[in-house]
């Protein structure tokens, strides 16, 4: 069995590892540390949670133990896709470098440029940054990358998802060709493989088996639900989430609720707060101070429910999380294992419940195929009376429309009908015409005067003469018609 003492790490680094309570490296650490200490490039393929942060942190500290940084020229660079993951990497450096006189700086968005500039001006051995903020400092002329000896790209697959690949390529071009590169990714998409072939030189490839199974201490379940109406799907889904939380009772001491979209994170958190649940959102669009405050409150037990997106929750390390609720089924099956891995950590028991609607069934099938296990189906705790109520409301909404249509039809009928006061006036000339005409044509004339403009030939009514119709005009028309 390999131990950290067998890996030729710096004695001061080994002392920090021992004080942290670690003795044996994980597979990714045992595979990556030896070639890294030899000065070779490393390509690591492993999921989050396999200990890969330490697999590049420990050799970096050993290699940087000697030397001194110059102003605005960091000696090493670590690129992370999110602020939270960058902050977690910084915590690892603090843990393992406490016996070394090395300096670090954290460049992330949402923090004042002025404070970060002060750190860079003093000179840092380790620079941990997100791509966007790093390039902001570079373009302002506050940072030079020509002194970078070691460069690390962490979570490259997330970089690809977030559109950072062009920034990564540019940063690579700003660093020396002689740098040592550590490149880590959970998957090897064609775009990522192209970058590794371009910027890494004969790397040592360490591939840890994909984390396709969740911990046995995590109880999994899924609720398959179908909304009563399409326009009620979101509200009924939020009601189902609340019912699932209530069903867990006191067992649910705290929970992370995962949503696929940032907009749903805000809506879900707002809805939970409206109904009296202690919840707060965290996603990439929030200010960094607010994100840090929310995370600290959740870690300290001051916040019960953390509603998060995948990107914001990447790399979160909260030891005691009792439940994970997947409000949405993740689009990537690997993210399911990552999500539910936030609970049941360090041998603790945990529970993960997923809400699956009709649109999520295909993605859920991919999850079950990945973990090679059928997730138990749970009963829907929401009563079945709601669809009937929805239908009743729908029928109520349609009633005004039918009343309006009836009233409009009655109005149109009244408008089409001739006024009752005009009828006697129209009948008077017809009676006189019947008396004066002995040829028996009075019936046809009376039918003609009462017509509604029918084109069938029975309408001999003359329009524009007022209520009185001279008999000679009617006779002339009848004669023409008879002829």
Q: What share of the chain in percent tops pLDDT 70?
A: 75
Residue among 164, 104, 114 at smallest CA distance from 142: 114
pLDDT at site 405:
42
CA gap 382, 65 in Å, rounded: 60
- Residue 353: φ, ψ to 5°: -120, 130
Beta bridge partner(s), residue 77: 127, 151
For 100-120, the pLDDT digits (tens) are 999 999 999 878 888 899 889
Is 308 within the bounds of a domain? yes
- Which region among 111-115, 171-175, 420-424 has the lowest average model confidence (pLDDT)? 420-424
Is 391 within the bounds of a domain? no
pLDDT at site 140:
92
Is 175 within the bounds of a domain? yes
Beta bridge partner(s), residue 377: 222
* Domain co-membership, 188 together with 287: no
CA gap 51, 206 in Å, rounded: 13
* Domain co-membership, 157 together with 238: no
pLDDT at site 443:
42
* Domain co-membership, 109 together with 136: yes
* 152 touches 182 (CB < 8 A): yes
* Domain co-membership, 244 together with 309: yes
Q: The tokens of 28 are what?
A: 């990714």
For 31-50, the pLDDT digits (tens) are 999 999 999 999 998 866 67
- Which region among 221-235, 361-375, 417-431 has the lowest average model confidence (pLDDT)? 417-431
Query: Which residue, of 360, 384, 408, is where some domain finishes?
Result: 384
* Domain co-membership, 45 together with 73: yes
Is 417 within the bounds of a domain? no
Mean pLDDT taken over the chain: 80
Is 41 within the bounds of a domain? yes
Is 414 within the bounds of a domain? no
Higher pLDDT, 481 or 167: 167
The answer to whether the predicted template modeling score (pTM) of the entire model surpasses 0.75 is no
CA gap 56, 40 in Å, rounded: 12
pLDDT at site 52:
85
User: What's the number of domains the chain is made of?
Assistant: 3
* Domain co-membership, 261 together with 119: no
Higher pLDDT, 468 or 395: 468
* Domain co-membership, 195 together with 298: no
Residue with tokens 């860079």: 120
Q: What share of the chain in percent tops pLDDT 90?
A: 49
CA gap 468, 455 in Å, rounded: 23
Q: Say yes or no to pLDDT of 347 above 70.
A: no
Q: The tokens of 446 are what?
A: 């009376």
In this prediction, residues 40-61 reach a mean pLDDT of 88
For 286-318, the pLDDT digits (tens) are 887 888 899 889 988 999 999 998 865 566 777
Q: Say yes or no to pLDDT of 76 above 50.
A: yes
CA gap 356, 244 in Å, rounded: 13
State the residue range of the domain holding 438.
422-482
DSSP track, 62-79: HHHSS---BTTB-SEEEE
Is 399 within the bounds of a domain? no
Higher pLDDT, 78 or 338: 78
Q: Say yes or no to pLDDT of 450 above 50.
A: no
> In this structure, are strands 218-224 and 350-356 parallel, antiparallel, or unpaired?
parallel
pLDDT at site 209:
63
Q: Say yes or no to pLDDT of 442 above 90.
A: no
Q: Say yes or no to pLDDT of 473 above 70.
A: no
Q: Say yes or no to pLDDT of 432 above 60.
A: no
Q: How many CA atoms lie within 13 A of 290 on its CB side?
A: 10
Q: Where does the pLDDT of residue 319 fall: very low under 50, low under 70, confident under 90, or very high at 90 and above?
A: confident
CA gap 332, 212 in Å, rounded: 12
pLDDT at site 273:
95
* Domain co-membership, 201 together with 237: no
* Domain co-membership, 315 together with 463: no
- Which region among 280-289, 333-342, 393-402 has the lowest average model confidence (pLDDT)? 393-402
* 323 touches 352 (CB < 8 A): yes
- Residue 366: φ, ψ to 5°: -65, -35
In this prediction, residues 207-231 reach a mean pLDDT of 81
* Domain co-membership, 186 together with 246: no
* Domain co-membership, 202 together with 226: no
Q: Say yes or no to pLDDT of 449 above 60.
A: no
* Domain co-membership, 445 together with 355: no
Q: Where does the pLDDT of residue 374 fall: very low under 50, low under 70, confident under 90, or very high at 90 and above?
A: very high
Residue with tokens 């006024």: 419
Neighbour order of strands in the sheet with 305-309: 218-224, 350-356, 323-326, 255-259, 305-309, 279-282
Is 460 within the bounds of a domain? yes
CATH classification at residue 181: 3.40.50.300
* 51 touches 280 (CB < 8 A): no
């Amino acid at each position: 069995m390999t131990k950290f003492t067998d890996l030729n790490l710096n004695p001061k680094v080994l002392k920090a590892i021992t004080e942290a309570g670690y003795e044996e490296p994980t597979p990714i650490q045992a595979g990556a540390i030896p070639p890294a200490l030899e000065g070779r490039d490393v390509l690591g393929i492993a999921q989050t949670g396999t200990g890969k942060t330490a697999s590049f942190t420990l050799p970096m500290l050993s290699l940087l133990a000697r030397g001194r940084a110059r102003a605005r020229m960091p000696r090493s660079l670590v690129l992370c896709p999110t602020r939270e993951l960058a902050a977690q990497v910084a915590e690892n450096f603090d843990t393992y470098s406490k016996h070394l006189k090395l300096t670090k700086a954290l460049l992330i968005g949402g923090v004042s440029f002025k404070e970060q500039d002060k750190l860079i001006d003093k000179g840092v051995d380790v620079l941990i940054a997100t791509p966007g903020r790093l390039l902001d400092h570079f373009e302002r002329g506050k940072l030079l990358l020509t002194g970078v000896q070691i460069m690390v790209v962490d979570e490259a697959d997330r970089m690809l998802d977030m559109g950072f690949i062009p920034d990564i390529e540019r940063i690579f071009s700003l660093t020396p060709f002689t740098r040592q590169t550590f490149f880590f990714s959970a998957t090897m998409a064609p775009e990522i493989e192209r970058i590794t072939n371009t910027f890494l030189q004969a790397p040592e490839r360490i591939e840890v088996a994909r984390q396709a199974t969740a911990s046995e201490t995590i109880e999994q379940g899924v609720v398959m639900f179908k909304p009563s109406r399409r326009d009620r799907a979101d509200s009924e889904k939020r009601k189902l989430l609340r019912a699932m939380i209530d069903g867990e009772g006191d067992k649910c001491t705290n929970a992370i609720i995962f949503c696929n979209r940032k907009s749903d994170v805000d809506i879900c958190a707002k809805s939970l707060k409206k109904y009296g649940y202690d919840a707060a959102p965290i996603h990439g669009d929030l200010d960094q101070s607010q994100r840090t405050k929310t995370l600290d409150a959740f870690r300290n037990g001051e916040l019960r429910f953390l509603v998060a997106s995948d990107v914001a929750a990447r790399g979160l390390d909260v030891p005691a999380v009792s439940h994970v609720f997947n409000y949405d089924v993740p689009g990537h099956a690997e993210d399911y294992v990552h999500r539910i891995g936030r609970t049941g950590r360090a041998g603790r028991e945990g529970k993960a419940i997923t809400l699956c609607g009709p649109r999520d069934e295909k993605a859920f099938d991919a999850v079950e195929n990945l973990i090679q296990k059928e997730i138990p189906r749970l009963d829907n705790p929401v009563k079945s009376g709601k669809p009937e109520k929805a239908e009743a409301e729908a029928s109520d909404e349609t009633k005004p429309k039918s009343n309006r249509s009836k009233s409009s039809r009655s109005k149109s009928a009244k408008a089409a009908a001739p006024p009752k006061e005009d009828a006697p006036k129209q009948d008077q000339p017809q009676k006189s015409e019947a008396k004066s005409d002995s040829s028996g044509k009075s019936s046809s004339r009376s039918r003609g005067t009462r017509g509604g403009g029918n084109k069938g030939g029975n309408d001999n009514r003359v329009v524009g003469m007022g209520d009185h119709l001279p008999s000679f005009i009617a006779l002339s028309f009848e004669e023409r018609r008879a002829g």
